[in-house]
A and B are shown apart, each in its own frame.
Chain A
Amino acid sequence: MTIYNLLQEPLTHAFMQRAMLAAIMVGAISGALGCFVVIRGMSFLGDGLSHAILPGVVVAYITGGTLFIGGLAAGIGTALVIGWLTRDNRLKEDTAIGIVFVSMFALGIALISANPQAYSRDLVHILFGDILGIKSSDLQIMFLCGVVVCGTIILLYKELAVISFDLGLARTLKLPTEGLRLLLLVLIAVTIVASLQIVGVTLMLSMLITPAATARIMTIRLHHMIFTSVIMGVLCGMAGIYISYHLDIATGPSIVLTMTAVFTLVFSASRIRGRLLRRV
């Protein structure tokens, strides 16, 4: 079996082609937006938000609606509630997240447990992803999410960079800091919902954080970091799909562990390099 065969054979199946496309798109979207999550220290918020979409997904599932729409509504809704609760620091962000997001997750579990059949069968898919069950309509929605997220980052790059680096400057320049912060929250919600079917609710954070954290070690400028993170997200997504196919393990964990492996490599390499440079 040649390397070409290893790479080509899985793609002869239609469901694997869709899985591959989905992994590429989601890797790119979460890689790009994840950079803002990492530099702004919002990873707890990302984790909370990914759990908070559960009730929306469950309601959509029970009523036979689109999971994307349900999750997106719940995600954007909670993001806005958090934004509203934490404006002017009247409630600390981590406190608000701890209360609101975990309650939403509990609500989701409660809803799905009322439906025993769905509870046993589909909870696993929602929690850990179901990349092999992706339909082409899902791919279209992912593409749309990608256009929205990446388009916004490109168009508002310098404003988002300013509010992330120096809120003081943003206010001095009279930028709408609150609006931009809410926009970021909404974009995180969109990204999470787009990634839902790949890695599920519980593994989501890794998609957002790990490629961006890896890219941060490798670069010193934000736009380089975003570019590197997108490449990382896409390559790790593809590698994760192949590994999952050939080793016959679940796809979500396979992608996550691939990302972690790359991060560990890059982190160690930068440490060793730093030590060597100091010795010279």
Chain B
Amino acid sequence: MALAVEYESVQHSAEALALSVVDLSAGYAGQGKAIEGVNFEVLSGERVAVIGPNGAGKSTLFKAIVGLIPFSSGSISIHGKDCRSSHNLVGYVPQQEEIDWSFPANVYDVVMMGRTRQIGWLRWPRRLDHEIVHSVLEQVGLANFANRQIGQLSGGQKRRVFIARALAQETDVLLLDEPFSGVDVAAEHEIMETLDQLKQAKITILLATHDLNMAATRFDKLMLLRQHVVAYGLPSEVFLPEVLQEAYGGRIGVFQQAGQTIIISDEHGCP
């Protein structure tokens, strides 16, 4: 046991910390705290699935990290820098309902928006910016759709446009807020394939989802959230009956049978 701890701490220092959240409390004004006392660290290149029932604070956590809502206490640092100090630290893929899909912009324009800060004030995109947009479109497999109006895309393509936009920011920490909600299985595969490609580029990913199966099988770590971090670690450490019961209450069924954990839940992780 002692040996294992030592091994872990050695590995810890060898790999760079991508994201560190210390004692974070945040919420919308006048609605109390959606998350309280949240602590966790994510290593560079790790892929973490954030799970938890509706209203557990997944979106609030993400919005606090990317700076969309202020946080009342605690600190967030990305690659060792305070998240409030710089503007290109994280890429954020928002929930898709928040977007006006009839906006006059094609795929290329939306991805270029990610480069607003690199281009700088009072300037128009230069050759380098165009090259980067072309290359991230290539990376997410949308090169042939560059001239498509964004409303004319499939669900999976729409998500990939926003992944590409975040990549165009040249950040290596990516936060995706429920990218699988409201898409079919084919689109889910499409998005997952794109994320798999980013693994080679050592992109750190935090992804909020209700799909417990995908969270358990396709990610390095799981974070179970309900106002605070209920459990954080490998699927085998998180998918324990008592842990899941604590987060989901009676709204999820957990059974252990012949060494296998069986979880029964509906699509959204709770009724």
A residues adjacent to B (C-beta < 8 A):
39, 88, 155-159, 161-162, 164-166, 168-169, 171-175, 216, 219-222, 224-225
Contacts and interface: CB of A to CB of B under 8 A. Distances in A.
Given A158-B113, A162-B116, A221-B106, 18 more contacts: A155-B122, A157-B124, A158-B124, A159-B121, A162-B113, A164-B103, A165-B110, A166-B113, A168-B92, A171-B67, A172-B66, A172-B92, A173-B116, A175-B116, A220-B106, A221-B109, A222-B109, A224-B104
B81 interface: no
B94 interface: yes
Contacts of B68: 168, 171-172
Contacts of B113: 158, 161-162, 165-166, 169
Contacts of B127: none
A173 B100 contact: no
Contacts of A174: 67, 86-87, 117
Contacts of A220: 104-106, 149
A216 B67 contact: no
Chain A, interface SS category: helix
Contacts of B104: 39, 216, 219-222, 224-225
5 contacts: A165-B99, A168-B92, A169-B94, A171-B68, A221-B105
Contacts, number: 78
B8 interface: no
B116 to A, nearest CB: 5
A225 B149 CA distance: 13
A155 B121 CA distance: 8
A172 B63 CA distance: 9
In the A-B complex, the 8 residue pairs with the smallest Cβ-Cβ separation, listed nearest first, are: A174-B87, A220-B149, A155-B122, A172-B66, A222-B104, A225-B104, A173-B87, A168-B94
Given A220-B149, A221-B104, A222-B109, A168 B98 contact: yes
A222 B150 CA distance: 12
B167 to A, nearest CB: 13
B96 to A, nearest CB: 11
B76 interface: no
A123 to B, nearest CB: 39
Interface in B99-138: 99-100, 103-106, 109-110, 112-114, 116-117, 119, 121-122, 124-125
Interface of B: 29, 66-68, 86-88, 90-92, 94, 98-100, 103-106, 109-110, 112-114, 116-117, 119, 121-122, 124-125, 149, 165, 169
B100 A169 contact: no
B116 A159 contact: yes
B228 to A, nearest CB: 25
Nearest to A88: B29
Most chain B CB inside 10 Å of its own CB: which residue of A156, A174, A224: A174
B109 A156 contact: no
A166 B99 contact: yes
Contacts of A172: 66-68, 87, 90-92
Given A159-B116, A171-B67, A173-B117, A165 B92 contact: no
A175 B113 CA distance: 12
Give the interface centre of B91, B113, B122 by most chain A CB atoms within 10 Å.
Answer: B113
Nearest to B103: A165
Contacts of A155: 122
Contacts of B100: 165
B95 to A, nearest CB: 9
A27 B119 CA distance: 31
A170 to B, nearest CB: 8
Contacts of B116: 158-159, 162, 173, 175
